[in-house]
Amino acid sequence: MLDATPLQNAYQALLDAAATVAAAATVAAATVTDADADADADSPGPAPPHGEWNADQILAHVSLVSAATIAAVASVAAGAHTTYDNRIALDAWTIERTIEHAGGNAGLRDRIGGQAAALCALAGGAALSDAELSTPAPVRLLSNGTLLADQPMPLRDIVTGLAEAELPGHTRQLLDLLPGRAVAEATR
């Protein structure tokens, strides 16, 4: 059995950061003129640095990665062979379509919250034995065009990697969108 506490904590930290960024975007939108407010009503939050994702795109990516992880865990629990490949979660069209389907930022946060509950229940509950968690799955992971992994990996490592690296990385990425955050980091 896998201790789901780190995974739950990582998801909660990400969702807290997303809510903080969304609140900052709401405050920023309230300070613009009425004409600008109409243009910014559907704004995905503070503008990211050039070439980086905005808050909605980050959340859509996390939702897609979470769905792929749930699929891999559910496949092993069902006795089926599985693979784990994050390339679809990096596809710009798929990310934008996910934002649209979820209904924007609040919908993405709700979706991720549900995915977190499902994944923690599957991976951390009695649904999988230690032998199943040790099942190797072919893995292909990319980040910013760089191949991180292209080899079989135990299912347990896929789930713990989500908790230890993927979610904390995107939590920092969200928090970096907050006004003044980049300045504070640069002056440390």
| Lowest-confidence region among 37-41, 95-99, 107-111, 131-135 | 37-41
Is the pLDDT score of 33 beyond 70? Answer: no
For residues 110 and 32, give the distance between their C-alpha atoms in angstroms, rounded to a whole number: 27
Facing residues of 84 across strands? 139
Tens of pLDDT, residue by residue over 85-118, are 999 999 999 999 999 999 999 999 999 999 999 9
For residues 124 and 162, give the distance between their C-alpha atoms in angstroms, rounded to a whole number: 13
Please name the residue that has the structure tokens 């896998």.
2
Q: Which helix (H) or strand (E) holds 150?
A: strand 146-154
CATH class given for the domain over 4-21+53-179:
mainly alpha
Which spans in 31-163 are helix H? 34-40, 55-77, 92-102, 105-124, 130-133, 155-161
Tell if the pTM clears 0.85, that is, is over it.
yes
Facing residues of 151 across strands? 139
Q: Where exactly are the structural domains of the chain?
A: 4-21+53-179
| Lowest-confidence region among 43-47, 67-71, 98-102, 151-155 | 43-47
Q: Which of 56, 73, 60, 81 is nearest to 161 (CA)?
A: 73
Is the pLDDT score of 25 beyond 90? Answer: no
The number of angstroms, rounded, from the C-alpha of 159 to the middle of its chain's C-alpha atoms is 13
